[in-house]
């Protein structure tokens, strides 16, 4: 499994929002059951943990969700409120959180 594989799978199922509690189905958010829990955990481990493993102060940042905007997948945090393209994170370009 790879990050790109998971994102393509979500795209093919028309999922464009995913967090630990739910995902979108059309215009509504569906409570997360086992449907996409594995995909969320994989993306969280590969994307969020990659950012948090850097020498940055993670005590003030909080991961919120993954979302697809105009065909581009983002990871979104609060404190600071920032969205970073997943491809940028994979390429170690996430200075917005520093």
pLDDT in tens, 41-88: 999 999 988 887 775 666 677 889 999 999 999 999 887 788 899 999
Question: What's the mean pLDDT when you consider all of the chain?
Answer: 83
pTM, full prediction: 0.83
Per-domain residue ranges of the chain: 3-91
For 4-66, the three-class secondary structure string (H helix, E strand, C coil) is HHHHHHHHHCCCCEECCCEEEECCEEEECCCCCHHHHHHHHHHHHHHHHCCCCCHHHCEEEEE
Q: Give the pLDDT band of residue 31 (cuts 50, 70, 90).
A: low
Calpha distance 88→72 (Å, rounded):
11
């Amino acid at each position: 499994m790879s990050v790109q594989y998971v994102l393509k799978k979500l795209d093919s199922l028309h999922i464009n929002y995913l967090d630990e509690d739910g995902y979108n189905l059309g215009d509504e958010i569906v409570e997360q059951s086992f449907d996409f829990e594995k995909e969320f955990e994989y993306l969280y481990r590969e994307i969020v943990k990659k950012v948090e493993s850097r020498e940055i102060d993670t005590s003030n940042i909080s991961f919120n969700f993954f979302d697809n905007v105009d065909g581009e997948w983002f990871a979104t945090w609060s404190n600071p409120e920032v969205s970073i393209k997943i491809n940028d994170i994979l390429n170690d370009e996430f200075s917005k959180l520093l």
